[in-house]
Structure 1
Amino acid sequence: MPIRYTLRQLEYLVAVGEAGSIVAAAQQVNVSPPSISAGVSHLEEELGIQLFVRHHAQGLTPTLAGRKLLDHAQMVLRQAAVLRDLAGELSGSIRGPLAIGGLSTFAQVVLPGLRRSFVDIHPEVRISQIEADQPELFSLLRQAKIDVALTYDLDLPSDLKFFPMLELPPLVAISEDHPLGHLAEVSVQELAPHPMVLLDLPLSADYFLSFYAKEDLRPNIAERTRDMAVMRSLVANGFGYSIVNIRPLNDLAPDGRPLRFIRLTGNPRPMRMGMLMSTAVERSQLHKTFLNSADSWIKEHSARLSGAPGAV
């Protein structure tokens, strides 16, 4: 009697193996926990082996047989993706799943609109997204948990290929009543004595601090946060200025207080926004189409993403 299972059930198996629990796997593949549990149980029943050891309140651990099946399941899913991409190319249609990672500092500003413009043209593409910092994006790409990452060209490793799309010079976020808030542009020499709210993310913090090191200065770091929204509210409430490379959709902090964004002088190195992919993964027609679409969308919105409202 033939063994019957679906690619979806294999996807559930891999998700549980990676996440270590039914609930976390359900969040990863965006289905209900009972569906994940039923899919894994069906596989165990069809294959006649136990794939996971269930630990009460501590998740699931793959058995020896389960680990071997996980490797083969991942291989089958990769081959199925190749077959799907080939079918799409032969039929001239763009379809299938696409997992996108976004740098957490600007994912909320860029990814939703970019996704909307793409799926409106290609409705058969199922996009999922995840927000992470730069090292986490590198790891997700290497593990093939995401297909592409929208990020900056910041300390990029050689095994990942970057497709630049937009240059973003640094801007100073400052409150309207700050002593320097009336200026159209400001230098690090002028900023250094004033309290700073540092956006303290891996690699990004070193980039911002390099502006001061270049001038043999030390900033007066009064606050640190990893959250862009928290940073904006701290700045708007007078706890210090900050430096960013992308401005929000409006000049208000999350609590409604106004902000200003002014130019940083001295020719500081800009960031380049673009898409990052693993060099080990062959680009499918879906990937190529998405890269082209993203490039067009970002360039169309370049003035909004890189501008400094209220500075001139």
Structure 2
Amino acid sequence: MNLHQLRFVREAVRQNFNLTEAAKALYTSQPGVSKAIIELEEELGVDIFTRHGKRIRGLTEPGRAVLRSVELIMQEIDGLKRIGKEFAAQDSGSFTIATTHTQARYALPRVVQAFAQRYPKVRLSLLQGNPKQVAEMVLKDQADMAIATEAIASIDGLISLPCYQWEHVVVVPHDHPLTRITPLTLEAIAAYPLITYDSAFTGRAKIDHAFQLRDLKPDVLLEAIDADVIKTYVELGMGVGIIAGMAYDADRDKGLRAIPVGHLFGTNVSRVALKQGAYLRGYVYSFIELISPTLTRKLVEQVMNGEKEMYEL
């Protein structure tokens, strides 16, 4: 048994059981991958994959158990490599964050700026997607960290910690009738066409749930993944916008007024998610502390080590 065989098994699964693609990803030959997997199966005495002719189609039941062990072993190997790199260069390296547009555009700029000033030798990358996509990026080792809303809180294989709370706001032109209604109600909002987030983003589920509880069916005229797009169409008079509070800037959005609606749609929590068992370099802890000072390195290490299972704001 060797590490190459384990890498081949993991990559075959990642490439949807396509050995040709697995071989390309690992810069080797397809026959070599196939032979190594067969040799591993013979050594273990079980079939890892189900087959149709020469093609593999899926994992057998013992194969799923083998894959879990392979993932743990390869994760430990990656951790050992990172340890060596960190002690060789404490303040340099690469750091990839997967996050949503709202976080990248509104919540992270000052954090990223402060981090870049503190660690000028670290190459920082931001990948964007919806909460499910950014979680997958971390699970597949395409990113070191995910930052999104509650949607990433209960995904197997991730450790998730809350960073900060926020509420939605309704955005309308300054002379809009909703600005004269206090307190604002769901019925009043539902009387107008709505422009808000796509269902995969930024607390949209809470918005829909609030209307459902009151048996209201608002006319969602337009869905977007970008608050700037939502605000643009609100300024054109096409409808009432519902966006994350952090996405409204009174200085920039001078043509709009924001009305807090936390009393209608509740409080949302942005979270940071890390791969369970991952080895974190020192500057990753520093980045987390910049996002939320309450998330100290000691606390994060406790959670990563399973010493403290729950932490909430």
TM-score norm. by structure 1 comes to 0.65
Report the secondary structure of 1:217's partner residue.
coil
Gaps of 5+ in 1: 1-13, 19-50, 54-59, 299-312
1:140-151 to 2 correspondences below 5 Å: 140-151=137-148
| 1:85 paired to 2:110 | no
Report the secondary structure of 1:170's partner residue.
strand
Report the counterpart of residue 193 of structure 1 in structure 2: 191
Rounded to whole Å, the distance in 1 between the matches of 2:166 and 2:100 is 14
1:15-54 to 2 correspondences below 5 Å: 52=24
Report the counterpart of residue 30 of structure 2 in structure 1: 64
Report the counterpart of residue 126 of structure 1 in structure 2: 123
- Residue 248 of structure 2 contacts residue 258 of structure 2 at CA under 8 Å; is this kept in 1? no
Q: How far off its partner does 1:188 sit?
A: 1.0
What do the CA deviations read for 1:67-91 (whole angstroms, capped 9, x no partner)?
Answer: 699x9xx887664322112445xxx
1:1-312 to 2 correspondences below 5 Å: 52=24, 63-64=29-30, 79-88=80-89, 93-154=90-151, 156=153, 157-183=155-181, 185-202=183-200, 204-248=203-247, 250-251=249-250, 258-264=255-261, 266=263, 268-296=265-293
Rounded to whole Å, the distance in 2 between the matches of 1:223 and 1:285 is 43
Report the counterpart of residue 47 of structure 1 in structure 2: none
Report the counterpart of residue 11 of structure 1 in structure 2: none
Gaps of 5+ in 2: 1-10, 16-22, 37-69, 296-313
Alignment-mate amino acid for residue 104 of structure 1 = H
Report the secondary structure of 1:174's partner residue.
strand
Q: How far off its partner does 1:270 sit?
A: 0.9
TM-score norm. by structure 2 comes to 0.64
Cα distance, 1:249–1:239 mapped onto 2, change above 3 Å: closer
Q: How far off its partner does 1:140 sit?
A: 0.3
- Residue 106 of structure 1 contacts residue 246 of structure 1 at CA under 8 Å; is this kept in 2? no
Rounded to whole Å, the distance in 1 between the matches of 2:273 and 2:162 is 9
Q: How far off its partner does 1:151 sit?
A: 1.3
Rounded to whole Å, the distance in 1 between the matches of 2:186 and 2:159 is 33
Please, what is the CA RMSD of the aligned residues?
3.4
- Residue 101 of structure 1 contacts residue 129 of structure 1 at CA under 8 Å; is this kept in 2? yes
Rounded to whole Å, the distance in 1 between the matches of 2:28 and 2:192 is 54
- Residue 188 of structure 1 contacts residue 264 of structure 1 at CA under 8 Å; is this kept in 2? no
Count, aligned residues = 236
Report the secondary structure of 2:266's partner residue.
coil
Cα distance, 1:267–1:238 mapped onto 2, change above 3 Å: closer
